[in-house]
Each structure stands twice: as C-alpha cells, then as structure tokens.
Amino acid sequence: MARVPSRDEYAEDSSDEEDVRNTVGNVPLEWYEDFPHVGYDLDGRRIYKPLRTRDELDDPDFWRTVKDRMTGQDLRLTDEQVALLQRLQRGQFGDVSFDPYEPAVDFFSGNIMIHPVTNRPEDKRSFIPSLVEKEKVSRMVHAIKMGWIQPRRSRDSTPRFYDLWAQEDPNAVLGRPQDACACTQAGPAWPHRVIQLPPEYLPSEEEHLVWAQQEPGERKLNFLPRKFPSLRAVPAYGRFSQERFERCLDLYLCPRQRKMRCLPRGPVAGFRLRRWLDGSLRLWEEATARCMRVVPVGGVVRSVAWNPNPSICLVAAAVDDAVLLLNPVLGDPLLAGSTDQLLSAFALPE
C-alpha cells in the first residue's frame, strides 16, 4: 500500500489572510498619528500603517473601500453591505424582509378563548388591612398630636414691596406731594436756518459789527445767517455738537431743577424739615419717610431754621425779603399748644 506523502498545511497560508488584531485597548487612536504604527498585535509586534499608493481613478472599487482605523487596512464592502448602507441612508430598516406596515395580530381579543389567560385567585392579604400602612398612619397621627406636622398655610397675597401712598388722597394735607417737573422745550425753528434766505433776513455790515461786539449770552442768535446757492455749498455747522450737548444736559439735569436741603434734627424728635423751591415747607417723618405736613409760604424759601429752645416748637423761614415764624404742630400736643399761645401773645412794637 502506497503511503501518501505528508503535506504542510501552512505552506499556502499568507500573512494577508491572518486576522490582524490591534490590542491597544480603548484608547484614542489620535495618539498614534505621529508614529509609523497604529498599535500592537497579540504577540506584541507593531502594526505598521500601510502605504497609500492606490489611486481612486485606477481602482474601480475605490468607492466601496473603507479604512479600518484599528489596523489601518483597507476593507472592501460587499454588495450586501453596500445595500444595507444605502437603506440606512434612506431612513429604511436594515432587514430587507421586515415589513413595518404588516397587520398587527391581536392575540388576546382576536380569538375568543374558552378558558381565561390566568385564573389565579386573589391573595388572602388583599382582604386584610396592611400592617405596614397601619404603622405609617399611627406615626403620622402621633406627629400631628405632638405638633411636628403643621397644616399648610395659605400664602399671603400682600406683595412684599408696595407703594406706601397708593391708598391716600393726593389732595389731602398728608398726601404724597406730586411734584412733576416738565423738561425744558427745545427752541423754535428760526427762519434764519434755511438755505435760500430772503434779502430782508440777511444782516447788514452794521449788524455784523454789533453782533461781534456783543457777549455770547446777549446775542439773539448764536450764528450769523448766510445765503448759499445750493445745499452742496452749505458748510458744516460748527456749533452742532455743542448745542446737542447742551440740550442733553437740559434733559439730564431737569429732575434736579427742584432742589431740597435737609436740616439737622429739631427739638421735635423723629421729624426733619426740608425747603422746596416751589414755595413750600415740608416736614417728613424719619421712621416712615412720609411727608406729614406741607406748609405753602407763597414764595421761594431761602433758608429755614429750628428754634433751639426745646420747650417751644417753632420754625423760622426766610421767604423773599420777609421772615415767617411757623408752628409745625407736630409731636407733643402740649408743646404745640404752648407755641400757639406764645405766637398769639406777640404784638408788634409801636
């Protein structure tokens, strides 16, 4: 019997058919961008990056070739894999045989069954009160008796911040003063600002000399009218920026037109006196910041002062060229009454 010669089973194997596995683990492959290899195989040898010598024009399968990032090898996709990718790009299911619109089968209500799906009887514990719930309820009752659990309180609808004088009459003596100060109006549009001025609006040489000799505050116009043949010949206005700035100052400083000054605390504790340029004296309560009294004096108040004597509640106000002595009627009624008696007993000298 002839003996069959032994054949090497690894003679026809090539390294291209081996399953190359990269054992770098779960690490970013960007770490190997500056190295000639992409990782290590099972034996610890380096897996070098393949040389890119293929051209997409010469390779007919270039459009279906992808790169394996773990090994750097080129993988050619089969027709089934290409069809799968195309279906996924169109938003379809990966399985060709899957029909998403097939009729649903109702297993429980479609066919009438003789026996129920489950005939398990109910437990005995379902008819007995739960001991765990009983303990929870007893703990809650004990906490309510001890005052540890309080009922929810209804939220207070009163806002935290509110207007103190919202409910007061503005015409009352103690009402909040409404001192609205209107801003200054812009000047009228002078006819001298047009391009084609009539001859009667053009100044003469004498008016030129008079205008140049006047002070800036005494001039009726802050510029000399001129006549131009066209709009293109009109130069830039030199005082435009200055006039706009002065107008902005008027609007900005308008709320400060009415100034008030606070005096030191007088003999009446808790009250302060302020003078206003609208011709009135106002007494304010320090604790609530409320205007308690408004005394019209009929003129601009230049200065005010308290009487330093603590037994008399008296205020002196300088209005124009006169001095007024007033009783603010605040604080102790006995002190206000004694002040009224003092003022009524005063007699002009003969």
25 and 100 housed in the same domain? yes
Domain that holds residue 222: 190-232
**The model's pTM:** 0.28
Are 23 and 107 contained in the same domain? Answer: yes
120 found inside a domain: no
Last residue of a domain, one of 61, 93, 111: 111
Whether 207 and 271 share a structural domain:
no
Residues 37 and 87 in one domain: yes
pLDDT score of 264: 47
Q: Over the Cα atoms of the chain, what is R_g?
A: 51
Question: Is 244 within a domain?
Answer: no
88 contact partners, CB below 8 Å, separation of at least 6? 94
Q: What is the pLDDT of residues 125-177, one digit of tens each?
A: 888 888 899 999 999 999 999 999 988 888 877 777 777 666 666 565 444 54
* Domain boundary, last residue among 55, 86, 111: 111
Question: Does residue 148 form part of some domain?
Answer: no
pLDDT < 50 regions, the chain: 1-2, 4, 15-18, 173-175, 177-181, 256-262, 264
Task: State residue 57's pLDDT score.
Answer: 62
Q: How far apart are CA 263 and CA 256, in angstroms?
A: 19
The residue written with tokens 């040898």 in the block is 45
**Number of domains forming the structure of the chain:** 3
Residue that is last in its domain, among 65, 88, 111: 111
- How far apart are alpha carbons 175 and 115 in whole angstroms? 87
- Any domain includes 52: yes
Please state the separation of Cα 122 from the chain's center in Å: 60
270 within some domain: yes
34-39: long-range contacts (C-beta < 8 A, 24 or more apart)? 38/69, 38/70, 38/71, 38/72, 39/70, 39/71
**203 and 173 in contact (C-beta within 8 Å)?**
no
Beta carbons of 70 and 29 less than 8 angstroms apart = yes
pLDDT at 46: 84
Based on the domain organization, do 291 and 334 belong to the same domain? yes
Asked, for residue 12, whether it belongs to a domain, the answer is no
pLDDT of amino acid 261: 46
Same domain, 26 and 106: yes
The span from the CA of 95 to the CA of 102, in Å, is: 14
How many Å apart are CA 299 and CA 286, to the nearest integer?
Answer: 26
Residue 312 is assigned to a structural domain of this protein: yes
Residues 227 and 284 in one domain: no
Give a yes or no: residue 133 inside a domain: no
